Amino acid sequence: MIQPEVHTLPVTLTIVVPVFNEAESITTFLQKLTDTFAAHPQVALDFVFVNDGSTDDTLNALLAWQQRTPHITVVDLSRNFGKEAAMTAGLNVAKGQVVVPIDVDLQDPPELILDMLQLWQQGFEVVLGRRVDRASDSWAKRTTASWFYKIHNKISKPKLPENVGDFRLMDRVVVDALKTLPEAHRFMKGLFAWVGFRTAVVDYVRLPRTVGTTKFNGWSLWNFALEGLTSFSTEPLRIWTYVGMFVSGMSILFALFIIIKVLLYGADVPGYASLMVAVTFLSGLQLVGIGILGEYLGRTYIESKRRPVYLVRRLYQAADK
Ligand code: UDP
Ligand code: MG
């Protein structure tokens, strides 16, 4: 058997950070990361911040930091494109041999990147951070998230590893592979899983946010889940064939039942209730079916326009690049 090749230090590491109205988080974030890697001269650290259309002072805060430190790149997007698009922008600009996307709110502990690097040195190309304890998330978020994974993994391939967010380490080969995926709808969790590669997992406890507030509410998470399901499975489309066959089968049985009943006992006119139930039930069913068709058609329509995933207002290149 050919041994997987191991990776060696020194290494260049690019941290990719999408930021949306996070002016007050940036300083603590950068200090924490610089401290974490201070004792590791073998790791040459640089940052790519993607300003995802912030309306507060985020861009100025980033540019002020860039003046002081040579290794910060800032990608300023023309508006808010959403975290998935911002992350795509960051990965496209990242130059490091390994790349780690991370949230700016320090909910994911940066120390873990050191453990990830150890696994990378053993030859792994992807190291996932898995949340063992989601106590920092609300009960509702935890339960709906677990339902989402259950349903998604039943109907989609490849399966999504449960409780794994965007926080992960990726080798250059993985990032380059991601860049070849052309879709405009970027459900990153799914794309990350789709590209594959040798994968290891490190567990960690996800902390509550210390500064600022979450950018995702219940409705946006619901849409995010729909995005995931429709991006990676056509099962919701196919199910209607079976629902249709089942309902037609039942109505044939019902027809036989009526015919026999009429032959045996003669015709009786009443039947308003059963008629009403059948009409409303079936029209509801048809509308759901059409809705799901629309969901996919809409996505195909958007994809067919071939619009870019994001637009850059300006790229502030790191001074040492
Ligand atoms: N974010 C972004 N664009 C958005 C929403 C969020 O770039 O439209 C960034 C945000 O600034 C943060 C990360 O994505 O760095 C995660 O956001 P948040 O902490 O609100 O998500 P949660 O941890 O609640 O899932
Ligand atoms: Mg967060």
pLDDT in tens, 48-92: 999 999 999 999 999 999 998 889 999 999 999 999 899 999 999
Nearest to 167 by CA among 122, 213, 126: 126
Q: Considering only CA atoms, which residue is closest to atom 19 of ligand 1?
A: 214
Q: Which of 32, 105, 205 to mutate to test the pocket of ligand 1 (most atoms within 8 A of CB)?
A: 105
* Ligand 2 centroid distance, CA of 125 (Å): 25
Does the domain at residues 11-232+312-320 carry the CATH identifier 3.90.550.10? yes
- For residue 211, count CB atoms less than 10 angstroms from its CB and return exposed for 0-12, middle for 13-18, buried for 19 or more: middle
Phi first, then psi, for residue 6 (nearest 5°) are: -90, 160
Relative to beta strand 98-101, strand 164-171 is: antiparallel
Kindly tell me if the per-residue pLDDT of 33 is higher than 90: yes
State residue 285's pLDDT score.
79
pLDDT given for residue 3 in this prediction: 61
Q: How much is the mean pLDDT over the chain?
A: 86
237 versus 71: the higher-pLDDT residue is: 71
Mean of pLDDT values over 38-43? 90
- 303 pLDDT higher than 90: no
pLDDT of residue 305: 83
Ligand 1 atom closest to 107 (CA):
23
Q: Which atom of ligand 1 is nearest to the CA of 104?
A: 15
Give the mutation target among 20, 33, 134 for probing the ligand 1 site: most ligand atoms within 8 A of CB.
Answer: 20
Counting ligands in written order, the one closest to the CA of 82 is: 1
- How far is Cα 200 from Cα 96, in angstroms, rounded to an integer? 20
- C-alpha radius of gyration, the chain, whole number: 25
- Residues having CB closer than 6 A to ligand 1 are 18-20, 22, 52, 80, 82-83, 86, 103-105, 107, 209, 214-216
Residue 257 is predicted with a pLDDT of 87
DSSP string, 35-100: HHHTT-TTEEEEEEEEE-S-SSSHHHHHHHHHHH-TTEEEEEESS---HHHHHHHHHHH--SSEEE
User: Ligand 2 centre and the CA of 105: distance in Å?
Assistant: 6
Range from 6-15, 29-38, 168-177, 271-280 carrying the lowest mean pLDDT: 271-280
- Measured in angstroms, how far is the CA atom of residue 20 from the centroid of ligand 1? 7
What are the structure tokens assigned to 82, written together? Answer: 């959403």
Ligand 1 atom with least separation from CA of 19: 11
Average pLDDT over residues 135-151: 81
CA gap 183, 195 in Å, rounded: 13
The protein residue with its alpha carbon nearest to ligand 1, atom 24, reads 214
CB atoms within 10 A of CB 65: 17
State pTM to two decimals: 0.76
Residues near ion ligand 2 (CB < 5 Å) are 103, 105, 107
Distance 201 CA to ligand 2 centre (A): 20
For the residues 118-144, what does the mean pLDDT come to? Answer: 85
User: pLDDT at residue 1 above 70?
Assistant: no
Note the ligand closest to the C-alpha atom of 22: 1
| pLDDT of 195 strictly over 90 | no
Task: Look at residue 94 and tell me whether its pLDDT is greater than 90.
Answer: yes
